[in-house]
Chains A and B, each alone.
Chain A
Amino acid sequence: MENRIKIERAIINITQDELAQRIGVSRQTINSIEANRYVPSTVLALKLSQIFNKSVNEFFILTEKD
């Protein structure tokens, strides 16, 4: 699975730290999600969806490996 979190974050112009505070996780967790080392839960994905004002499918994309 790929994600566009970093791009979406850049669009709304917030740092990893700010995003982490808004959804109640640590900055390292955001970093791991962006680097594809961690796949977040549905709850966290929905929180990101609220922040970015986009549906989850728009920033989490399934690849052929999935």
Chain B
Amino acid sequence: MNLNESKNCERTKLEQFLNKVQLPHWYKKIGIVILILSFITLLILKFINDVPLWFGIGLKHLMLIALLLISLSREKVEDEMIETLRSKSYALAFIIGVGYSLLQTIANYFVDLFLGRYDFSNDLGHIQVLLFMLLIQVGFFELLKRTR
């Protein structure tokens, strides 16, 4: 068995598929620019009245797309260690994301109870959870890369 054959043996079809899904490295820069611009616009919107609701939601979706671009873009040197670190960061983001949605719901419940509001319908939006998970993934991936 030569090296290429053993490489194909070692990598599952899922891994090979995931490698195809990744974007070129320069998408990361586009993602960062879109993320910063949409974040600044969202901050400015907080101080402006009479802004259509769809605009704010649209900006949050744009942030989500920007984070996805950053998350899916390749590194300059994409080797097996980077793949391992990326997998770890996705696993961490998933676990922390689930923990966040559970704890945040409980925290909201107690805050509502403390403030005397008894509707308890304060549910987390999917955009908030997804933004949090992607932020954790991107953050942990960078952290793991720097401390490797």
Hey, which bits of chain A sit against chain B, CB under 8 A?
Answer: 24-26, 28-29, 32, 37-38, 40-44, 46-47, 50
**A-B pairs under 8 A by CB, number:** 39
B81 within 8 Å of A (CB atoms): yes
With both chains docked as a complex, state the minimum distance between the C-beta of A53 and any C-beta of chain B, in angstroms.
Answer: 15
Interface residue ranges, B against A (CB under 8 Å): 3, 6-7, 10, 77, 79-82, 84, 145, 148
Interface of A is mostly: helix
Given A28-B148, A37-B148, A38-B148 in contact, is the A46-B6 Cβ separation under 8 Å? yes
Task: Give the interface SS of chain B, mostly helix, strand, loop or mixed.
Answer: helix
Q: Are B6 and A40 in contact (CB under 8 A)?
A: no
Which residues of B are found within 8 Å of A43, using beta-carbon distances?
3, 6-7, 10, 80
Q: Are A25 and B10 in contact (CB under 8 A)?
A: no
How far, in whole Å, are A57 and B83 apart by their CA atoms in the complex?
A: 25
